[in-house]
Every structure is written in C-alpha cells, then in structure tokens.
Structure 1
Amino acid sequence: MQDFDRSITGERIIELRQQEEDNLIKSLAVQYGYSYVDLRGVTINPTALLMIDEVTAKKAQAVGFESHRNHLSIAIRNPNNPETKTLLAALKAKGIESTIFMTSTGSLEHAWTRYRDQKTNVAVERGILDINTAQIAEQMKLFKTPETVKTYLNNIRSVNNARRVSETLETMFAGALALGASDIHIEPEETGIRLRYRLDGVLYDITDLDRAMYARITSRLKLLSGMILNVKSQAQDGRFTFTIAMKDIEVRSSIIPGASGESMVMRLLDPTVASFSMDLLGINPILKSVMEAELARPNGLILTTGPTGSGKTTALYAFLREAHKPGVKIITIENPVEYKLDNIVQTQVSENYSFANGLRAVLRQDPDIIMVGEIRDREVAETAIHAAQTGHLVFSTLHTNSAVGAFPRLIDLGVDYRMIGVSVNLVLGQRLVRILCPNCKAARTATEAEHKIITQVLATHPKPPILEEPLVIYDAVGCAACNHTGYKGRQAVFEAIKVDTAVEEAIIRDPREHIILEAAKAQAIPSMAEDGIEKVVQGITSLEELMRVVDLYDGRHIKTTPKDIQVDSDFSTPIV
C-alpha cells in the first residue's frame, strides 16, 4: 500500500513538473512573439514529421507537425538553441517556409513517438506507401459511373500482387474524384465491408470489400492520416493531401470503433471551394443586395445557420472573399481548417486553443474581420458579440433549423437578449438542394396539386416570378452524365433576417420565433421555401427534391397539412 502511494505521489510530481514547464514555455512564447502549441492534442501529419529526420529533430529539440506544399509548421523548445537555428537555416535553404511554434519537452517527446510508428509501418508496407497520383489521374478519365468503379475494384480483388492495397486505394480515390463524391465511407458489417460514396448529398453503395483487404486499407489510411495504428477502441481524426493535375486534394479522415470493426469516413475537400464567389452560391438578387450592404459594414455579427452539410462553410468563405480588400486583416478560427485561403490568417482549434480562448487571442492581433467556425457555447457567443461591438466584423455559424431560430438559440446559450439587437447584423438560413441534370431533366405540365403548392408559396414572395400558364416544371430522369440519378451538383436555398429596429424590439419584447418573423416581414426578403419554389419554377431543381430538404408546411406558406398532399416518388407528382 505504501509503495502504491509512493507511485501515485511520483506520478503527481511528474505531472506538476510538466504543467510548470508548459506554463513557462507559454510565457516565453509571448516574449519571443511565437504561438504556443501542445502537440499532445494535435494530429501529427506524417509528411510534415518526415521532413525532419528523427536524429536531427531530437538534436534540434524540434518537430514538424503540419505541412502544405513548401510550408512547414514546426514546433521548437528554445529559439536560441544553436542546433535549432541550424535546422531552421537548412530548411530555408531548401526553399521550405517555416511557421514557428514553441512547445514543451513533454510535448516534443510525445510527438517524437510518431517516428516509431513510421518505422514500423514502412517495414510492414514497404514498397506500397505512396499513392500513385498519376494512376489516379488516368483512372479518373475512365470512371463515368459507379458501376465502372465497382468493376475495377472487383478486378483488383482477384489479383494477388504487392500493390493490391495501393491499387485499391487509387481506384477508390479516382472513382470518388471522377464522380464528384464529397465523402468516402468504409463501413464494416457482419456480412461484409461496405464501400459507399456520397454524391450530391446522398449515399450510394459502390461495392463490398473483403475483410483481409479492409484491415490493410484501414491501417494504410491511418498511416497516411497521422493516426495511431494500434488504437482501435477510440475515435481518431486526421488528414492528408495528394496532388492531382496541379490541384491539392485535402482528405479529412475520421474513424470510430464499431461492433464489426472500425468505421472510416474520408471527406474530400475540393480546393476550388475556397475560390467560390457569391455569384456561384445561387443567392437570389434581393438577398444578394442585402448581403453586399451588410458585408460593407465595418462591424457587427453575421451568422449562417443550418444543419451539418448544408454549405455553411462554403458560404462563409465566399463572404470572406467578398469582404476582403487591400488594407484589411482577416483571421479565422476553424475546426479544422478545411480550405487554404490566400492573404488570410487561418488558425485551427486544438486541445489548448479552443474557439473561446482563440477568439480572445485573435482580438489582440488587430484584425478587421474575424471568422469563428462555430458558436456552440455561452463563452464563444459572448466573446463573438463583444468582438462585434468593438469594431470588428465577425462571421460565424449556428446549428439551428432556420434563420429565425438563431435568436432563441443565442438566448438559450445565455446571451443577454439586449445585446443581440445591438451586435447581430444579419442571420442567414440555408439548405442544399440537388440540381437537375441539364442533359436529361424532363419538362411537364404541373398537376393541379403541384400548381396549388407553388402558387401558395409564391403568394408571400416579395417579388414573385411571373408564372406562365400552363405551368411547366421539371422532373429528374437519369442518364450516363448524372450517374442515372437525375441530378448533378447542388445549390443552396437561402433565407435571411436583418436585425433592424423592428426585429430588435421584438427580441426584447418577446423573442418567440413567430413574433420575430412578423417583425421581419417588412424587410421583404424571400424565405427558404419561397427561394426554393422560385428555383423549381426556373427548372434548377425539382419539387420533390425541394420538399425533401425544406419544410413547406411550416404554417407560413401552405395551409394544407402534409397528410393531405403526398409526392409520388416515381413521378414527383403530389397526390391529393
């Protein structure tokens, strides 16, 4: 018992010493003008790690932990260490730009353990570590449908060679990129391993993988993503990059333990999203003029709302591009950084750099515009509102079902309702609808029930489109160009509420949603349903698709209950 107590005391002393050194390094980092990073809460990028060999890293008391092209994020313990200075000079001579962070000895030692993982895996997977990007580019030309991807994967299964794992991964990525998939899902089940792609927001089965291949693929993907190989009982996140046709493809990986094995999802981040303009978002002219005016304001909070996968990040990046002007400093706090933006300082949350303390630190960096990835608690909400009130234009997101839902949500988080009206400028709500394939969409006359839905919704539109009779709408059909889904690409449907005097008074008087909506009517901004129906009339999407994504029966537009009108799944025809 005495030995046990002595052991506990020893562990506590070590822990206190580590905390003491961490606090010392944090203070020194401020003095030297560097940021502090705790590598125990950061995913180490294998590419970045191996840009400095283990012997040199330990001698220089340094480690690389994130990289992008010729840029390396490097953590060091002491900027005055001669070996550290030699290392930084050598990296510069190689044309590698370094962003320097300071960290503690314990943090460095944790990161150095990743060198062991790399050695182990090189021995296990020797000769098949690199993804052949040239092969991916060639295969992308061949893959026109999910069936062709399935055929190639099944053919690889029947071949036994040293590159079988690499060929499977190359085909998997080539198929996803060729078909425009946003995510790759590898899902173990009792009966097999299912591979699925998310195309235009909907998951499609591609093929089944055998268990032996699945085990090797997940190990390989863990290695590429900077995850710990032998940890299989907890969730892990990571990322890696490969280049196709001069375009960097960022892959964000997530793995969780399951009853039948580890389930893995890889999100493919298209770098062209970072160059999206407001014109490409599909914002209707009324809202676009409102947005342009709000983006020109020097301070205030602009919120975008919607569920995960509704395009909020893409919209925020487009707004940042619109707001960016010479002489303006923009800093982002993201979780994680999804796309690299030129001339913008992007930071990523970690164990010791949360949205809240990150935002407080950013305010000391003299920014003009700040983007906070998400407001999820009172501390972040109040800090964002404080920033908006002290001369900063702040962008952020909230998870609510509608634009008007943002106001009671902020109050639920503990924000003083009197502060909302004087700090929030605008709240956007959005969803993504699939775009009808231009090659196969079929025009037809709307049925009486469909006509009724469209006219009822447009009756409240501030500037409705002129409807020609007979009213023509379009159905999804399916062809080779759209993988026989009838849809190709996605576009957002929006709504917005400006916080003007009437809305501010409503928030203070009675912040229930229907009261705020009534106060906002005079703004004459189309609702999400009205914007969506306008896109149905324009032939951009189908009525069936809009009804899948947007609730038209919220009491604001259609008085008929959902039980009275149903949409036929084969013909998109409501049946009364």
Structure 2
Amino acid sequence: MAFIDILRFGSPKAQLPQTPAVTMRKQSEKVTRATISVAPASPKVVPLRQPKPPQVYKSISDLPPYSEIASLSGKKFEIGPKSQESIVILKLIDDKENKYSILATKDAYGGAVYKGLLQRLTKADCEVFACGVTDGALINRLNQEGSESVLNDSTDKRIVRDIDKLATDAIEQGASDIHIEKRGGSAVVKMRVNGRLVVYSDSWAADYVDTMARALHTLADDESKDQTFTETGQMSVMRNLSVGAVKLRVQISQAYPDGGLDIVMRVLRVAVSAKVQSLNELGYAAEHIEMMEYMRSSPTGLVIIAGTTGSGKTTTLQTLMQEIRRMDSGIKMISIEDPPEYVMDGVTQIPVARRRNQAADENPFAQAMRSTMRMDPNVIMIGEIRDSESAELMVGMNQSGHKVFGSIHADSPLGVIGRLNSMGVPGSVLAANKFISGLIYQTLVPLLCPSCKVDYDETSDKISPALHERIKKITYPGDTIFFEKLGGCPHCRNQGIIGRTVCAEMVIPDDTIRRFISEGQLGKAYEHWRSQRMGKPATSMAGATALEHGIMKMRRGEVSPLSIESELGLLHDFRLDIGSASTEVAQLLGFEN
C-alpha cells in the first residue's frame, strides 16, 4: 500500500517515522556522539484525511466483489437506521478477511458519521479499499439484498412455514389477529377469536421471535415497507399469501416495549366469495333494518357506518351493497377498498394499496375516487374516509347525485359529523337537505354459547353487589339473564361464546337535527335525537343507543351483562340519560330532572 494511503486510512501497519531530538552546543561545533540524546519517540498524531472518492458507483455491477453488508443491524459494523439510508459498509471478497469498502451518498461522504466509521474499521485492524460515492437508491438496494441474505442464512424455510401456518390456523379458528409477545427468554403466541385473546402457543424461544421479526420485514410486499429493517423502532408492513386455494393478506405491526417485542398480525381473506349475512343475522333489530331500508332507498345521499377497528363496519357495508344489488340489478355499483376483503357479486371492486413513504401529493385512495367518478356509477362504496382529501371527494360524489356508502372511525352517529368537520367538511354542507341519508354506529359483543351459558340465579352469589343492583334496575319479570361459562364446552371450543353480534344506534337527520348540525350544536342535536324515545317501549330502537340495544339482547339471554359493560359501558336505565339531557326533554318525557 502506498504511504499516502496508509496515512489516509490509518492502517495499524503504518510505521510512523521517529524524529530524534538533537541538542546543539554551537552551530559551528562538531557534533559528537556524546552530544546527541535520543528522546523516547512520542507518537505523532496523524489526522485522518478524507480521501477523494476513487469512483462514483452507479450500479451493483460497478462495485468490487463483496460477500456481505457489514453495516446492517446485527452485523459487525452495525449502524443506526437513519445512517443506513446514506451509508453502507461492504465486506470485500479477498484472501484476507479484513478488507472493507464504504459507500456513501454525496452529502454523507466525508461527514462525521463517515469519518467515525473509518476510525471503527481502523481500530478493528481492517483495511479499507475502494470507497466511493453512490446514490440512496443503490444503498437501499444493497441493504434490502443484505437483509434477504440474512434471512436465507437463518432458518428461513421454517419461518416462512410458521408464518403461513399461523395465518391459516387463524382463519380456521376464526381469529382476526395474531399476537406474538416476547418477554425475557420466551414468547407466547395468542389469537384474537370473537374479540378475545386466547393462547395458541407458549413455548416459542425469544431468539426465534427476533429472527421472525426480521423475516416478516424481508417477506413483506415491497410497497408496504421501508427498505431498511430496524430492530429498535415500530414497523408496519403487509404480506400477501397464497396457501392452497386461500388468498390472505397479513397486516403486520411490531413495537419494542421495554425489555421485549410485540408483533401483531391482522389476517384477512381476500378475493373470496363469502356468504353474505343478512342484517338480521348480523344482529340488527327489526326496527334498525327498517331504518336502513329507508336510508338505502333514496337514489342519492350519504350513508356512513362508524365504529372502531374490528367493529364489523366492512361486513355491514358489504351486506348493504348486496341488498341494493338484489333489489335492482340494473345499476352500476363501484367500491374502493384497501383492500377488497370479499368478492361482491355485481360490484366493480377497485383495490387500493397505500404505500409507505409515498409522496405528499400521491394519495392512491383519492386517485381511485377520481377515477370512479368517470366510470358512470350509480352507487359508490368508500371503504374508509380517513383524510381531508377523501372527505372532499366524498362530498363531490354525493353532491353530483350519486348514492354513497362509506365507513369512518367515530364513537357515535353524531360523532361522524365532528370527524367530517375536522376533515374540513363544514356543517352547512352536511346539513343540506338530502345530503345525509343516515348515520350508523355499531360495535360487536360476544354471543353466549346456548349449550353451556349459565343462568343468572346460579351466578348471582358470584357477582359484585353493585352489578347485581344495576341488573335489577333494568330488568323485568320474565327476562332471562345468562352469563358465560368459564371454560365453555365442546360446542363452543371451550370458549363460552360462539361469535359476536352487532349492537348499534342510528340517526336519520330530520329538519331539527340538520339545523343543529348547521349551527354546530351537536349536543342539542343529540338531545333531540334522544327525545325520539318519548312514549316508546324499552325495546324500541328509535333514539336508542348501542348500550340500550345491548341491554335488549341481554334481557333475552343472548349476551352476558359482563360483556355489555366491557364493550358498551355500565348498565343503566335509558330514561336517566334522557332526563339529564335537558329540562325540556325531561318534561316532554314526563320525567323529573
């Protein structure tokens, strides 16, 4: 190696010249051996001078032969995820095992991180050759290929097999999510079935879960992920699987709580023709179904279903769309979904894949909505209204005379108004006559197993006195109250429940509600809606909340009081709510404040 190169890279093999200290008696005096004293050689600090890049690398074929990416997480010269976007260290193929090359983007080349890596390599007795400048795209590609090679070097076949088996087992058991929780030296795998987590396995090794976390990133669809895997931050990716005749989509999220790792995989069947359940089978009351028939019967107007993640909004939308098609097969129906969870006969389903790191002006959902408007639709279904752009396009679709169905995350029917307001849709638009056909909120509550549910009289001594009092206040003679049997029976796979049922509330805006919406007085709109229960029996769904719908099912022995309180809040008499809404409403109903 040339001397100048040794100085540049700080090779430990470089021998720095030692300069003796000489004491001269007089300039003209003859220097003798006795007048020369050699001081101990003090190490001379040679600064690491940044070499000029010998080459600009434009493709992998330009690079020197290398065996691995040494800067990836878990490798010898691991660097942080942010640095991995602009710098990569290659281990070169050579007779010696200590030759490396550093590639960096133009901005990172010669910077503090780059110089620090030179020092790390030098201290580790490594030789550095063929450093250069490249672009971020090539660095991302190198990191991606390196991650895949890490997977191939590990138990990749077993991991792929286990991931596929987890997903297919989840579908067979009716699970919506898979949870892998690592703590200490072991991990437990759980599945969410009927809204509850049940243990699938408690014997997974912690190091295997770490390897699986990396594998899930590598196996994920490219458009759903960052190019670089990080073991310290959160990750959210997707993977499409084909297991036999079943096509699945797995949405994967992971986070690193203190001292552990959590991986959550949401499993969805895609491109399958599922049996369409009727609104009655989903759990809607007869009066609810009448309201929904009114909502969908008008040729225009917006119908929005609100709820949390996993509350069955998409399933209800699918049922409504199929009901419309059954009533009139001569109309054009288009859905925009991320992604389509089920195949709907007679509906043009447009899949949308939101990508990570997409440009700010790239909104594939909005682009799909614009395209839909040019396809001459009669009815449009928007999988989820989640941002101001999709809300604005939804308004345009509705105002142009289309029937629009959609879903949104909100905690009540009138909460939809607040969400749309926050997305930039003013109350004056939402309050326009015929703009909103109906607002629906729903959640899901576990259904008791009919074969093993336990009668209230058998459990009254095991529940708290407070719950006992709450049950007494809202039940009548002839009501059949049951609880879930711990451990269940073979009929319910030892779970005590056999599925979930909808508990819902609905608002069909009248002139008064529209006026309050326009004025931004949602509290008064709620009071007016609740007053619709005036003079109605307890089983009526007019102006009834989801809690009251759940209480009706509890009185019939379909759901447990504990499930109602867990999902919907404490049991109480609806008349107390109406009585506290306002003095005017209380007087109308004949109750005192």
TM-score range for the pair, normalised by the shorter chain length = 0.5 to 0.7
> What amino acid sits opposite 1:369 in the alignment?
V
Are residue 348 (structure 1) and residue 352 (structure 2) matched?
A: yes
Are residue 430 (structure 1) and residue 442 (structure 2) matched?
A: yes
CA deviation vs aligned residue, 1:378-425 (integer Å, no higher than 9, x gap): 333232122112111111222221112222333343322121122111
Q: What residue in structure 1 maps to residue 311 of structure 2?
A: 310
Check conservation: 1:381, 1:415, Cα contact below 8 A.
yes
CA deviation vs aligned residue, 1:191-245 (integer Å, no higher than 9, x gap): 432312112112233314113322443344444433568512452311222345x
Cα distance in 2, alignment partners of residues 513 and 457 from structure 1:
26
Match of 1:210 among 201, 205, 213: 205
Q: What residue in structure 1 maps to residue 6 of structure 2?
A: none
Larger Rg: 2
Cα distance in 1, alignment partners of residues 506 and 274 from structure 2:
22
Q: What residue in structure 2 maps to residue 248 of structure 1?
A: 247
CA deviation vs aligned residue, 1:498-540 (integer Å, no higher than 9, x gap): 0222321232345223433414643825321221111112222
Check conservation: 1:474, 1:541, Cα contact below 8 A.
yes
> Alignment partner of 2:544: what SS?
coil
Cα distance in 2, alignment partners of residues 354 and 457 from structure 1:
49
Give the TM-score normalised by the residue count of structure 2: 0.61
Cα offset for 1:117?
7.6
> What amino acid sits opposite 2:295 in the alignment?
E
Check conservation: 2:473, 2:572, Cα contact below 8 A.
no
Cα distance in 2, alignment partners of residues 543 and 531 from structure 1:
12
Q: Which runs of 4+ in 1 moved over 6 A?
A: 108-115, 446-452
Structure 1 unaligned spans of 5+: 11-105, 130-162, 459-466, 561-576
Q: What residue in structure 2 maps to residue 192 of structure 1?
A: 186
RMSD of aligned alpha carbons:
4.0
> What amino acid sits opposite 2:277 in the alignment?
F
- Please give the residue correspondences for 1:500-515 in structure 2 after superposition, counting only pairs within 5 Å: 500-509=510-519, 511-515=521-525
Change (3 A) 1:485 1:235: same
> What amino acid sits opposite 1:254 in the alignment?
S
Cα distance in 2, alignment partners of residues 390 and 508 from structure 1:
21
Cα offset for 1:541?
0.8
Match of 1:440 among 452, 457, 470: 452
Cα distance in 1, alignment partners of residues 384 and 139 from structure 2:
29
Q: What residue in structure 2 maps to residue 474 of structure 1?
A: 482
Check conservation: 2:217, 2:229, Cα contact below 8 A.
no
My pick for the range that moved more, 376-385 or 398-407, is: 376-385
Change (3 A) 1:272 1:261: farther
Cα distance in 2, alignment partners of residues 552 and 305 from structure 1:
21
Cα offset for 1:122?
8.5
Give the TM-score normalised by the residue count of structure 1: 0.62
Structure 2 unaligned spans of 5+: 1-49, 57-134, 534-541, 579-593
> What amino acid sits opposite 2:209 in the alignment?
Y
Cα offset for 1:249?
3.7
Cα distance in 1, alignment partners of residues 320 and 406 from structure 2:
11
Cα distance in 1, alignment partners of residues 185 and 206 from structure 2:
10
Check conservation: 2:383, 2:406, Cα contact below 8 A.
yes
Cα distance in 1, alignment partners of residues 451 and 262 from structure 2:
36
Quote the sequence identity (%): 26
CA deviation vs aligned residue, 1:325-374 (integer Å, no higher than 9, x gap): 42322222333443343432223153323444432332222222222232
Q: What residue in structure 2 maps to residue 288 of structure 1?
A: 289
Cα offset for 1:284?
0.6
> Alignment partner of 1:305: what SS?
strand
Q: What residue in structure 2 maps to residue 320 of structure 1?
A: 321
Cα offset for 1:480?
3.6
Are residue 487 (structure 1) and residue 497 (structure 2) matched?
A: yes
Check conservation: 2:268, 2:341, Cα contact below 8 A.
yes
Change (3 A) 1:255 1:486: same
Cα distance in 2, alignment partners of residues 525 and 428 from structure 1:
12
Cα distance in 1, alignment partners of residues 273 and 353 from structure 2:
23
> Alignment partner of 1:472: what SS?
coil
Check conservation: 1:329, 1:368, Cα contact below 8 A.
yes
Cα offset for 1:494?
0.8
> What amino acid sits opposite 2:350 in the alignment?
Q
Cα distance in 2, alignment partners of residues 345 and 407 from structure 1:
27
Are residue 364 (structure 1) and residue 362 (structure 2) matched?
A: no
Check conservation: 1:274, 1:340, Cα contact below 8 A.
no
> What amino acid sits opposite 1:434 in the alignment?
P
Check conservation: 1:306, 1:431, Cα contact below 8 A.
yes
Larger helix percent: 1
> Alignment partner of 1:182: what SS?
strand
Cα distance in 2, alignment partners of residues 219 and 376 from structure 1:
30
Check conservation: 2:332, 2:377, Cα contact below 8 A.
yes
Are residue 238 (structure 1) and residue 238 (structure 2) matched?
A: yes
Check conservation: 2:143, 2:228, Cα contact below 8 A.
no
> What amino acid sits opposite 2:229 in the alignment?
V
